[in-house]
Amino acid sequence: MLINDEKFMDRAETLLEKGTNRKQFIKGLVDKYTWVDIGSSYLLSELNAAYLYGQLENEKLILNKRLDIFNKYYKAFWPLQSKIQLPVVPKNCELNGHIFYLICRSNEERKRLISFLQEKNIQAVFHYIPLHQSPMGKKWGDSISLPITEDMSARLVRLPIFYSLTDKEQNLIINEVISFYT
């Protein structure tokens, strides 16, 4: 776990210790440990930690590759803006290239685009339903309507964007999306 503010350290330790004050017990600050907060087993196995460490060592390389993929999609789909919406990155935000999406004109169009791409063995997917419409959102939240969120969610389609995506694979995706819209 990486934490950039020391004020969160104690709570992070508690959450990592499955909601207990075990670390304080180990340090001799309490005579027994017990549950003091929410928590779960968030610890990585050694294998997962080693894999993550390797990714962190290559953070800049991975980030740059994902940004290259994002920017290539963006440039390729720029001429289609009368038919789709492209991602918007606010000026005060830094892009990390973790997702590339298109906003279709309708839910039906999104379904047709996803089906079209799947026929070409391209895994494009819709995102996820808005939190307020999810089972947990309904359980813990108020029953509300967020029409803009619901509309965007119904029209958003995510394109493949991952570190090992080759230029050839990305060109195929780009060409097929353009083919769908032309």
Over residues 144-168, the pLDDT tens digits come to: 889 999 999 999 999 999 989 999 9
For each of the domains in the chain, give its residue range(s) and CATH number, in order of start: 6-43 (no CATH), 59-181 (3.90.1150.10)
Give, to the nearest 10 degrees, the angle between helix 107-119 and helix 147-155: 20
9 to each of 1, 2, 3, 21, 56, how far by Cα in Å?
10, 10, 7, 13, 21
pLDDT band at 174 (very low <50, low <70, confident <90, very high): very high
pTM for the predicted model, two decimal places = 0.75
